[in-house]
A and B are shown apart, each in its own frame.
Chain A
Amino acid sequence: MNKETFMRELDLQLERIPEQDRHELLYDFEEHFEMGEQEGKTEEEITAELGNPKVIAKDMFMEYRITQAEADKSVKNISRAILATISLSFFNLIFVIGPVAGITAAYVGLVAASIALIFTPIVWLGALIFHQTDSLLQPFFITITISSFGVLFGIAMLYVGKVLYLLILKYVKYNIKIVKGAR
């Protein structure tokens, strides 16, 4: 394999990374080629020593996604990091997707519950409009209490969400270590 093929393969695998960041990642390899050539090695010898560009690029891509998820905390970024991790190995498909899907589903359930609680006064409003019941004030206070509980619960869920985000990120990184046999 010559230099051009090697670099093109890297570039192709990393195409989802923005131009500037990708250029920085590729620069290390440009430098490596130049120094190897100075020592009188051929492009073929250098690419043989470097190894498979696909494997190297996958490693870099996953690392990039995790850095993004750490720097800019958003659902989009962590999903991307998880996807990149899964593409690394089949092992990760089972050990990452399982727990992450379970925890996320439980969390979404709790958030939905808190939203439902917040909107209980609507039930009271419905009763007000459709049924002319005698005791409207007592249900009103009950629903307001439930609603404020829902707000507090929702706020708590925001904090839980942040903690979960960090935990999932940690778990993903731990998983990568296992797969790579680092520890």
Chain B
Amino acid sequence: MNVQFKKGVLELCVLVLISEKDQYGYELAQNISKRIDVAEGTLYPLLRRLTKENYFTTYLSESTEGPSRKYYSLTEAGREYMESLIEEWKQFSSGVNELIEEAEKNE
């Protein structure tokens, strides 16, 4: 898929996944790349930016094995932002789908 296009949608995916449950970077990367082919490294700058904009808060949690994990949690502002993005996405994707369907019908 087109890289620029994917970057925009990635933000929405990250918000949605973290709204379900708090996650740490690696876990999030695995959950996203299960569905979408994405360069996982780009997630970290994105997470940092969304945290800076107060959409996420972070906390450290010790784990039984390996290093302590930095968890991301959605804030109230983050939830509002996510909802507005979902709305935009739904309008956008249904518009595109309608266009495609019409074109296919006319063929």
Contacts and interface: CB of A to CB of B under 8 A. Distances in A.
Interface stretch (A30-38, A108-116, A148-156): A30-38
B95 interface: no
Interface stretch (A49-57, A75-83, A130-138): A49-57
How many interface residues does chain B have, given as a range? 20 to 34
Contacts, number: 72
Interface of B: 4-5, 7-8, 11, 24-26, 29, 33, 39-42, 44-45, 47-49, 52, 65-67, 69-70
Interface string A28-64: 1111101110100000000001111101100110010
26 contacts: A28-B44, A28-B48, A28-B70, A31-B25, A31-B67, A31-B69, A32-B29, A32-B44, A34-B66, A34-B67, A36-B26, A49-B29, A49-B40, A50-B39, A51-B41, A55-B42, A56-B39, A56-B42, A59-B42, A63-B48, A63-B52, A179-B4, A180-B8, A181-B7, A181-B8, A183-B8
Most B CB atoms within 10 A — which of A25, A49, A179?
A: A49
A12 B25 CA distance: 23
B8 A32 contact: no
Contacts of B7: 180-182
Most A CB atoms within 10 A — which of B39, B69, B70?
A: B39
B45 A38 contact: no
The dominant DSSP class at the B interface is helix
A104 interface: no
Contacts of A30: 67
Contacts of B45: 56, 59-60, 63
Nearest to A180: B7
Most B CB atoms within 10 A — which of A29, A52, A56, A179?
A: A56
A67 interface: yes
Interface in A62-90: 63, 67
